[in-house]
Amino acid sequence: METLDQIFVLAKHWLVARVPEPLAWLATILLSIGPLITVFASCFAITTIVERKALGRIQNRFGPNRVGPFGLLQPLADGLKMLIKEDLVPAQADKVVHLLAPFALVVPAWLTFSVLPFGRNMTVIDLDAGLLFFFAVGASSELAVFMAGWSSRNKYALMGAMRGIAQMISYEVPLVLSTVAVVMSVGSLSLPSIVEAQSAYVFGMPTWHVFTPWGLSGFILFLIAGAAEANRAPFDLPEAESEIIAGYLTEYSGFKYALFFMGEYLGLFAITGMGITLFLGGWTAPVSFLATTPSWFWFFAKFGAIIALFIWVRGTVPRLRMDQLMKFAWKFLVPLTLVNLVVAAFWHFSGTWQFPGAIFARWLLGAGFIGGAYVTLGRALHTNQFPPRVYAYAE
């Protein structure tokens, strides 16, 4: 079991030992990057087909079922199509920026994976400020979005880029604020140590952060803000087909379009991996008697579950309007994440309570506080609707 858990680490060490000494550093790097890119690129391919299938089923359709058995080779066909498509660049476009934009999106998206712990001892770089690195690099995708929108010299592209940046910057705030609660609780920005902090078991049950009042609400807030950060439905306004064609992707075709598409999914994967690491105990098993099973299995099981949740939500919720999107971020998510911080602080300091039933009291107070804020904010925002429309000239 121990070997199976560490099989990838051991394989890497075995391979590095076969490489001559002066090149060992290069082999180490390549053997970290290669599997990462392979695994998540295939995750991207699998997600596209699973998503299309699931969305089809949600709408009582079959979904793609023509290429290969059950349509499972559809990603292959899509990729081939993307590769052999003509790469059109508008005559008026800023050609250099237009070319660089897809790379500026994909490269940071890959970089964010370097700090995520995929299993025990399976972190590419264990940075002390891993969380900070993750969000700093992740935020640079906004630049790529604006590069794409601006260089295309197309009004839809520019509008898409403006929307994209407004949305990403707005949702960055609740996203980071919801993770601060975890940092407060653990006292570290290093992602492996955040996972270690959740790896204990009480009565056979895990001590994941999601099983605390602040963790549960923080996880939900993180998923909502993360979906918006990854331009994921229902927050896919930057690419709203019905309004602005494809947003900042309008003037992209062929493989550059595929790169953008991949960058977006990679962003979603990174957010998912981060959510798992922060709130769902990373690679730890959900029950103590399964603790000996491979850690990477649990990471990818949780990963699949969260991706499925995102697909489910995409198939359910219609797209927001721009003002609703902004209102939701600033008037609802940001106050709730701030309240969540207070609850996290309360949970941390009430950890010393010794009287019997203290855990229930802590839960009741914490959940009551965040729930009360949720209901109050919901009511307050709901009554603040548009006034009844007056038709001045209709009389």
Partner 1 sequence: MLGTGLIQGLMETAKNFVGSYHDEARLVTVQYPEEKIPAKENSRNFPFLVYDGEDPQAGLRCVACQICEKECPPKCIYIVKSKDKKPDYTGKAQLYPATFDIDVSVCMSCQICVEVCPFDAIKMDQVFELSTSDRFATLLLKKTTLAKPNAYFHQIHPTDAAEIDGRLAEEKRKAEEKAKAAAAAKAAAAAAATTGTDPKAPPVGGAAKSPTN
Binding region for partner 1 (CB under 8 A): 54, 57-62, 312-313, 315-317, 374-375, 377-379, 381-382
In the complex with partner 1, the residue whose CB is nearer, 41 or 377, is: 377
Minimum distance between the CB of residue 58 and partner 1, rounded to whole angstroms? 5
Gap between the Cα atoms of 119 and 162, Å rounded: 38
Nearest to 35, CA basis, from 7, 71, 62: 7
Gap between the Cα atoms of 320 and 59, Å rounded: 20
In the complex with partner 1, the residue whose CB is nearer, 17 or 375, is: 375
In the complex with partner 1, the residue whose CB is nearer, 155 or 379, is: 379
In the complex with partner 1, the residue whose CB is nearer, 89 or 377, is: 377
In the complex with partner 1, the residue whose CB is nearer, 57 or 81, is: 57
If phi > 0 it is left, if psi is from -120 to 50 it is alpha, else beta; for residue 223 that is alpha
Helix (H, G, I), strand (E, B) or coil at 181: helix
In the complex with partner 1, the residue whose CB is nearer, 68 or 315, is: 315
Minimum distance between the CB of residue 308 and partner 1, rounded to whole angstroms? 10
Spatial contact of 146 and 210, defined as CB atoms under 8 Å apart = no
Gap between the Cα atoms of 319 and 102, Å rounded: 25
The H or E element spanning position 387 is none
Gap between the Cα atoms of 265 and 262, Å rounded: 5
Gap between the Cα atoms of 34 and 134, Å rounded: 20
Minimum distance between the CB of residue 74 and partner 1, rounded to whole angstroms? 16
Minimum distance between the CB of residue 316 and partner 1, rounded to whole angstroms? 4
CA distances from 36 to 40, 103, 276 (A): 6, 17, 17
Minimum distance between the CB of residue 363 and partner 1, rounded to whole angstroms? 20
Minimum distance between the CB of residue 379 and partner 1, rounded to whole angstroms? 8
Spatial contact of 158 and 152, defined as CB atoms under 8 Å apart = yes
In the complex with partner 1, the residue whose CB is nearer, 187 or 378, is: 378
Minimum distance between the CB of residue 61 and partner 1, rounded to whole angstroms? 6
Minimum distance between the CB of residue 64 and partner 1, rounded to whole angstroms? 12
User: What type of residue sits at position 157?
Assistant: A
In the complex with partner 1, the residue whose CB is nearer, 25 or 62, is: 62
Burial zone of 319 (CB within 10 Å; 0-12 exposed, 13-18 middle, 19+ buried): middle
Gap between the Cα atoms of 48 and 130, Å rounded: 29
